Amino acid sequence: MTEFWNRFSCNRQAVLGLIILGCVIFLASIANLIYPNDPFLYSRFPLSGPGENGFLLGSDSIGRDVAAGIAHGAKTSLLIGLIATIAAVFIGVIFGALAGYYGGLVDDILMRVTEVFQTIPSFIFAILLVAIMKPSIESVVIAITVVSWPAVARLVRGEFLALKNREFVQACHTLGMGDLRIMLAEILPNCLSPIIVIGSLMVATAILVESGLAFLGLGDPNVMSWGFIISDGRSMLRVAWWICTFPGIAILITVLAINLVGEGLNDALNPRLRERN
Amino acid sequence: MNRSSKILRYVSRRLLQGIPIILAIVVMNFFLLNLAEGDAVDVLAGEAGSATPEYMEEMRKKFGLDKPLTVQLAHYLKNVVQLDLGYSFRHDMQVTELIVDRFWPTLLLMVSTILLAVGFGVLLGLFAAVNLNTWKDAVVSVFALITYATPLFWVGLMMIILFSIKNDWFPTSGMENSAAFYEGFDRLKDIAHHLVLPTITLSLFYLALYTRMMRASMLEQYGQDYVITARAKGVSERRITFIHVLRNALLPVVTMAGVQVGALIGGSVIVESVFAWPGLGMLAFESLFARDLNLLLGIFLLSSGLVVAVNLVVDVIYCFLDPRIEVN
Amino acid sequence: MTDKLLKISDLDISLPEGSERNLAVENLTVDLSPGETLCIVGESGSGKSLTARALMGLLPAPHVRISKGKIEFCGEDLTKASDPRMRQIRGSEISMIFQEPMTALNPVMTIGVQIDEIFRFHVKMSQRERRLRAIELLEDVKLPDPEQIVAAYPHELSGGQRQRAMIAMALALEPKILIADEPTTALDVTTQAKILKLISDMQAIHKSGVLFITHDFGVVADIADRVAVMQYGRIVETGSVDKVLNKPEHRYTRALIASVPSLVPRAPRTRSDKIVLSTESIQKRFGGGKSFFGMGKPNRFVHAVKDVTLDLRSGETLGVVGESGSGKSTLARCIIRLMDSDSGKIMLDGVNICNLNRADMRPWRAKIQMVFQDPFASLNPRVKVGEIISQGPMIQGADRQTAQTRARELLEIVGLDVRAFNRYPHEFSGGQRQRIGIARALALDPEILMADEPVSALDVSIQAQILKLLDEIRERMNLSMVFITHDLRVAAQVCDRLAVMRYGEIVETGATREVFDAPQHSYTRELLAAVPGQKWDRQLAN
């Protein structure tokens, strides 16, 4: 663990990413303290520029505070990204492990299913799912999960496929060890590093997808999110550039930070592992 | 058997493999349609404003909606095979017709984006790898890192602020200035002018992706044994980079280009809705607001088919690039 | 012959900071005359390959570099030569062939184009001439149908053919020096014999000096004029092949040579006639169109194991020898039920274990255990050594306490410190890991040990230690052993009886001594004839 931390902290970019991410998480956790009011609350000062009328980052067309929106939106983005990723990793690991370990017909069937899901343009599929389920936090999480598990499944399948023929796994068979124990206790720990890496990068992608959905008006209408502010400020682009600009920068910085951390993890956990999708 | 006939066989086999995928998507489509609240008759009734329950029941019979699900599925499959994707009440048109109409602008946007993203991505990645660990590499890498993290719609909006609002260089929306009634070459020029911002916006993310992949791929290939062999033969570094390494490094990038087409279509929904580009993505955006699920599913089906087709093309290209692909 | 082609003096090659040692190669002084073959022998990590790279100016810059010394090639110091000059020399005056002919060739370029590059960069010739010359070269290295091979890609050739193509490439411009870095290590023994002959034939024609890097003393005995023995980056002994092999002076050389298993089979031991394991017509095929979705896949079968019938007697070691692809490992995995054989019987204590399901098989697992080939892949890097060894007994029903006590005992038996118990596998060397693997197999108190190439990934001195350990344990625990190997020298020293396999079939069985002295099958004769260093063995025997 200390060895891992040493390698990770050698990577300046990764440490920078971790610091930024820490700040975003901090912002999300104190959002209720610094902006105790509902971020949807409108005021008498629409379209104030940054710094005017006590709005740090300006206000939108009906006078809602952009800065408050960003603070509360951070919570939404991080939460959705995290939950969807955990769910997707869970499903992907199960699919990939079964397909890779058992091979043959099981693999054929599971991988065809995965292939179908990978063929479908994921963002359109997500739009479709949210549209059918009606926009809400839950439907957004489900949609992101549904479109992102195949990548994990493929990765885990590949790892299992390679590892199951390793001699240490064969040795377990000769000892009479059961399949479930071999999968969970012997093989899975050996592919945790790539799973952690792909998981961390998936959080970033999930945040991008969530903001995209919100931008198209498919966010939960009762929950403040970065994509929502941008989508709402779009029509005011000519008169109030700040409404769209700041939440976008928030997304950019957060996603960038997560990507940096993810790459740092990649380098630190497995120097030979290269970029995978 | 010679190579070209082998490739032909390979292609036909891949084509056959694409069929169950498309079929599965169609079936999924059907169930998604059923999952949605309300059926076509509800929508129709909503459109008409008022309808008696008896009338709606009659309509359901007419559309076969009272039949068991399996019968309905068979009916749906038959329709899809005949390229009948249903009727869009909102646009008062056959979905198929509507989609085909809007397909060309999207295709134009996609092709120009792929060319820009893959072309420049490969060049930038190559440039960074050749100048490894110099400031040039650093600039390219930071650029790729940042664009890789930027949401598409935000890039689009910033582009509009910078290049259309602050400086009136490019139009903000649409595909052409229809009021000007340009013809021939002038029309092409007008379309190209409108194409610039959407293309740049859509390609930035993928440009970053391909740049990073190409750089990593080049570096990986530089470490291979055959590079040492080539050096041991006295081959120049130039030739090693541009002939030996480049061709091997392109292979994973080509694969990725195929994989990313699906994501590109998704991105086009956002970009088209930002720039009001009259393609499938814009259509999807409109149908979202109109809750025109028939249309949305049609677009979904077509774009899935497109991905299958593009992947096939990529596979064939790959066959020519990599002689190792055993096409049997 | 008086003028030296190459004189290396006081060469130091430094490694990047934080490496195991500062200098990969230290104070290396060696020379090479025209027409001479100099073998550099050493175990892994001795610095022999880096020396070769240094000559070509191909050290992995900037971390590994020459820090001292001179490399004089026909009077010119190569350490001071400019890049363009080095490029001129490489391929035309000094050329090189490598260990792994698959990865050493560019997979997406035809053999023809890759040969062509040599001419393109060194001589002025028209394209037609270059093509004709390439075909000629391929003919010279005795490749069949050169016209086709010119247009072939590396993956379309066999390992031996690829190495021939590499040699053709290296000799294209009749270089003064040919450097061969373990060129036959990745090849089967019969192919190795042919490639070695080709190299010496070509040398006779072109009068080039050959710098041959190897770890195999048999090969050294067959091809070297002079030998340099390397250890930890230093040359510990040089001299004529006769002097170094037959009258070695340095301790290390003597130890190495003593580790080389002799081709003269050991005396057969008294054996019982009790059969502990027998197989009856085992069949195993791979491939075929079983897959439900795999439309249009041609049904290609590989008959990996064909009708194999074997007996293993109590207390004996049965060797299964064969080249790669002979099906010997598949056979081992079928017997131990890691794979299901298609048909046939495997009788263990009067029970056919072939059709037992997993649960019924479990108690039988303890009776027959396996030692694997790759010491790095055969231990789970995430599990502690003690756990690895005690897992087996615990699965078989022992309680934790007993299993762990037994594991500690076993560590001592296989010659490891008991403290290894709480460490992870990556903290151990290859030989030590192999000991851990043996301890794991022994933990279940098996009657039969299946050893699949247990020493082929190890250096010769470690190999000797592991073989000795296996022998001791076998005596001590009264084990019967099936020993799979491709190395006839090892087989001669370990096995009481031999079964020779080719293309999935057993072509000959018999007592080891009989098989070696009077091989019945033509393939066995071919195999025996291809073992390098036989002349040397005869010299030693007399």
Higher pLDDT, C267 or C46: C46
The lowest-confidence range among B34-38, B231-235, C64-68 is B34-38
Rounded distance between C-alpha atoms, residue A271 and residue A267, angstroms: 5
The pLDDT of residue B184 is above 50: yes
pLDDT at position C310 is 92
- Token pair in block for residue C144: 């069949």
pLDDT confidence of C355, banded at 50, 70, 90?
Answer: confident
Tell me the C-alpha to C-alpha distance, in Å, between residue B179 and each of A70, B41, B197, C425: 41, 39, 20, 75
Rounded distance between C-alpha atoms, residue C221 and residue C242, angstroms: 8
Q: Check A171 against C372: CB less than 8 A apart.
A: yes
Query: Chain B: nearest CA to C535, how far in angstroms?
Result: 34
Higher pLDDT, C417 or C18: C417
Which of B47, B77, B43, B73 minimizes the C-alpha distance to B60? Answer: B43
Give the CA angle between residues B262, A210, A142 to the nearest 5°: 85
Task: Report helix, strand or coil for C531.
Answer: coil
Q: Calculate mean pLDDT across residues C507-533.
A: 93
Query: Chain B: nearest CA to C160, how far in angstroms?
Result: 17
Q: pLDDT tens digits, residue range B16-33?
A: 888 888 888 888 888 887
- Token pair in block for residue C273: 């006639």
pLDDT at position B48 is 60
pLDDT at position B322 is 82
The pLDDT of residue C294 is above 70: no
Q: pLDDT tens digits, residue range C259-275?
A: 999 988 888 777 788 89
Which of the given ranges, A130-134, B118-122, B281-285, has the highest pLDDT on average? B118-122
Note whether C396 contacts A: Cβ–Cβ < 8 A.
Answer: yes
Residue with tokens 């006081």: C10
The pLDDT of residue C293 is above 70: no
Which of C499, C491, C505 minimizes the C-alpha distance to C519? Answer: C499
Task: Report helix, strand or coil for C28.
Answer: strand
Query: Chain B: nearest CA to C493, how far in angstroms?
Result: 36
The pLDDT of residue B65 is above 80: no
Q: What is the mean pLDDT of chain A?
A: 86
C351-352 vs C343-348, strand pairing mode: antiparallel
The pLDDT of residue C290 is above 70: no
Rounded distance between C-alpha atoms, residue A162 and residue A180, angstroms: 17
Closest Cβ opposite residue A112 in set B20, B36, B266: B20
Q: Check A216 against B216: CB less than 8 A apart.
A: no
pLDDT confidence of C450, banded at 50, 70, 90?
Answer: very high
pLDDT confidence of B86, banded at 50, 70, 90?
Answer: confident
Rounded distance between C-alpha atoms, residue B217 and residue B230, angstroms: 18
Phi, psi angle pair for A249, to nearest 5°: -65, -35
Note whether A237 contacts B: Cβ–Cβ < 8 A.
Answer: yes
Note whether C383 contacts A: Cβ–Cβ < 8 A.
Answer: yes
Query: Chain B: nearest CA to C55, how far in angstroms?
Result: 10
pLDDT at position C452 is 93
Q: Check A174 against C338: CB less than 8 A apart.
A: yes
Give the relative orientation of helices A104-119 and A137-164 as an angle to the nearest 10 degrees: 140
- Token pair in block for residue B221: 């290939």
Which of C319, C277, C280, C331 minimizes the C-alpha distance to C504? Answer: C331
Determine the residue of chain A that is closest to B280 in CA distance.
A124
pLDDT at position B45 is 66
The DSSP 8-state label assigned to residue C104 in this structure reads T
Which of C378, C389, C495 minimizes the C-alpha distance to C434? Answer: C378
Q: Do C403 and C386 meet the contact criterion of CB atoms below 8 Å apart?
A: no
pLDDT at position A139 is 92
Q: Kindly give the confidence (pLDDT) of every residue in chain A, 277 residues in length, as a single tens digit, with 9 standing for 90 and above.
A: 677 788 888 888 889 999 999 999 998 888 888 888 777 777 777 777 777 777 777 777 777 888 888 889 898 899 999 999 999 999 999 999 999 999 888 998 898 888 888 888 889 899 989 988 888 999 999 999 999 999 999 999 999 999 998 999 999 999 989 999 999 999 999 998 889 889 988 999 999 999 999 888 888 888 888 888 888 888 877 788 888 888 889 999 999 999 999 888 888 876 543 333 2
Which of B267, B285, B287 minimizes the C-alpha distance to B276? Answer: B285
Q: Calculate mean pLDDT across residues B221-241.
A: 91
Rounded distance between C-alpha atoms, residue A177 and residue B54, angstroms: 65
Adjacent-strand bridge partners of C41:
C214, C229
Note whether A41 contacts B: Cβ–Cβ < 8 A.
Answer: no
- Token pair in block for residue B267: 């991105």
Rounded distance between C-alpha atoms, residue B328 and residue B86, angstroms: 40
Taking the CA of residue A247 as centre, how many other CA atoms within 13 Å lie in the half-sphere pointing to its CB? 37
Query: Chain A: nearest CA to C282, how far in angstroms?
Result: 19
The pLDDT of residue C499 is above 90: yes
Query: Chain B: nearest CA to C120, how far in angstroms?
Result: 9
Higher pLDDT, B36 or C411: C411
Which of B39, B35, B30, B46 minimizes the C-alpha distance to B63? Answer: B39
User: What percent of chain C has a predicted confidence (pLDDT) above 70?
Assistant: 97
Q: Do A232 and A243 meet the contact criterion of CB atoms below 8 Å apart?
A: yes
Concatenating the DSSP letter of every residue in C128-170 gives HHHHHHHHHHHHHTT-S-HHHHHT--GGGS-HHHHHHHHHHHH
Q: Check A122 against B154: CB less than 8 A apart.
A: no
The pLDDT of residue C291 is above 60: no
pLDDT at position B191 is 86
Q: Calculate mean pLDDT across residues C81-101.
A: 91
Residues in B closer than 8 angstroms to A230, CB to CB, are 153-154, 157
Note whether B293 contacts A: Cβ–Cβ < 8 A.
Answer: yes
Residues in A closer than 8 angstroms to C366, CB to CB, are 176
Tell me the C-alpha to C-alpha distance, in Å, between residue C267 and each of B69, C440, C494: 79, 30, 10
The pLDDT of residue B123 is above 90: yes
- Token pair in block for residue B281: 């993505």
Task: Report helix, strand or coil for C344.
Answer: strand
The pLDDT of residue C296 is above 50: no
Return the H-helix or E-strand segment holding A270.
none
Q: Do C542 and C295 meet the contact criterion of CB atoms below 8 Å apart?
A: no
Q: Check B304 against A120: CB less than 8 A apart.
A: yes
Note whether B213 contacts A: Cβ–Cβ < 8 A.
Answer: yes
Q: Check C291 against A189: CB less than 8 A apart.
A: no
pLDDT confidence of B51, banded at 50, 70, 90?
Answer: low
The pLDDT of residue B39 is above 70: no
The pLDDT of residue C324 is above 90: no
User: Within its chain, how far is the Cα of A131 from the centroid?
Assistant: 20
Which of C288, C293, C279, C211 minimizes the C-alpha distance to C499? Answer: C279
Pairs of CB atoms within 8 A across A/C: 64
- CB-based burial label for C437 (10 Å; 0-12, 13-18, 19+): buried
Taking the CA of residue C295 as centre, how many other CA atoms within 13 Å lie in the half-sphere pointing to its CB? 12
- Name subunits touching C (3+ CB pairs < 8 A): A, B
Burial A166-188 (b: 16+ CB within 10 A, else e): bbbbbbbbbbbbeeeebbebbbb
Q: Do A128 and A156 meet the contact criterion of CB atoms below 8 Å apart?
A: no
Tell me the C-alpha to C-alpha distance, in Å, between residue B29 and each of B233, B282, B302, C388: 58, 20, 11, 50
Q: Check A121 against B265: CB less than 8 A apart.
A: yes
Rounded distance between C-alpha atoms, residue A192 and residue A171, angstroms: 21
pLDDT at position B207 is 92
Query: Chain B: nearest CA to A121, how far in angstroms?
Result: 4
Concatenating the DSSP letter of every residue in B249-298 gives HHHHHHHHHHHTHHHHHHHHHHHHHHHT--SHHHHHHHHHHHT-HHHHHH
Q: Calculate mean pLDDT across residues C278-296.
A: 68
Model pTM score: 0.86
The DSSP 8-state label assigned to residue C418 in this structure reads G
Adjacent-strand bridge partners of C351:
C348
Residues in B closer than 8 angstroms to C89, CB to CB, are 234
Adjacent-strand bridge partners of C278:
C311, C347
Burial B106-123 (b: 16+ CB within 10 A, else e): bebbbebbbebbbebbbe
Rounded distance between C-alpha atoms, residue A89 and residue A151, angstroms: 9
Which of B215, B51, B194 minimizes the C-alpha distance to B140? Answer: B215
Q: Check C96 against B232: CB less than 8 A apart.
A: yes
Task: Report helix, strand or coil for C321.
Answer: strand
Residues in A closer than 8 angstroms to C292, CB to CB, are 105, 108-109
Rounded distance between C-alpha atoms, residue C524 and residue C508, angstroms: 8
pLDDT at position B37 is 62
Q: What is the mean pLDDT of chain C?
A: 90
pLDDT at position C300 is 61
Return the H-helix or E-strand segment holding B33.
helix B3-35
